[in-house]
Amino acid sequence: MRYFIKLAFCGTNYFGWQKQPNAVTVQEVLSERMSKLLRTETDIVGAGRTDTGVHALVYYAHFDTVEEIEDCENMVYRLNKMLPNDIVVYDIFSVDSNAHARYDAVSRTYHYYIDTQKNPFTEKFMSYRYQPTDFDLMNEAAMYLLQVSDFSSFCKAGSDNKTTICKVTEAQWHQINSSQYFFRITADRFLRNMVRAIVGTLFDVGEKKISLDEFYSIVNKHDRCKAGESVEAKGLFLADVRYPFEIGAREKQ
């Protein structure tokens, strides 16, 4: 039997989602607690990697069991009691045996949050930007991302990506209130460090360090060294992962 888990996590204390030697990760903690609950070694496969310190408002993973889980709601309750406070499971639901949390995802959406005023209550989850920033100009630059497919200019050097081709379908800054904004970007896939590199380069545009034409040129040079610095991880949230209807059909609404 295969089950999907819908969860969220604060990534501050973790070295990303994926298991790695000598580092605490979300996948490691979740797999360990699930194995104790099911009383058998249980591997959990996630929707994709997240960088160290990156958060997830919505995240999906899957795991297999030999026997059917009779009460998923009770399992959610018991699992949450075992998990630390910075990881929460919202739902566990059965799916087809060949459904895959990573490979079946059709899109992923990230948000990057900033505050243009110093604020002790948003400091942990928003990046503070103190320089005057032209958000209209940044949105004009971001629209160009929908017209290109090769994002190697925003891929961390040395990454093991088989391809740097991505299809971005949404890229726009939104205002929350007088001082806070977030960047929303959706694509079929993302490269390692891609969103943080894009945001950092957009800030170069918004702060008038580079022109729109220079931004377009950076995108098309396919050279990470030409793009701007990656912004800090704390403002980045995986906000949504979408699947074909039949995969999520049994999820509670």
Question: Which residues are part of the catalytic machinery?
Answer: 51
Cα angle: 248, vertex 252, 253; to 5 degrees = 95
DSSP string spanning 132-148? Answer: ---HHHHHHHHHGGGG-
From the centroid of its chain, how far is CA 31? 19
What is d(CA 61, CA 87) in angstroms, rounded to the nearest whole number?
13
DSSP state for residue 216 in the 8-state scheme: H
From the centroid of its chain, how far is CA 225? 23
Q: Which CA distances in Å does 114 have to 59, 73, 185, 197? A: 22, 36, 15, 15
What is d(CA 38, CA 41) in angstroms, rounded to the nearest whole number?
8
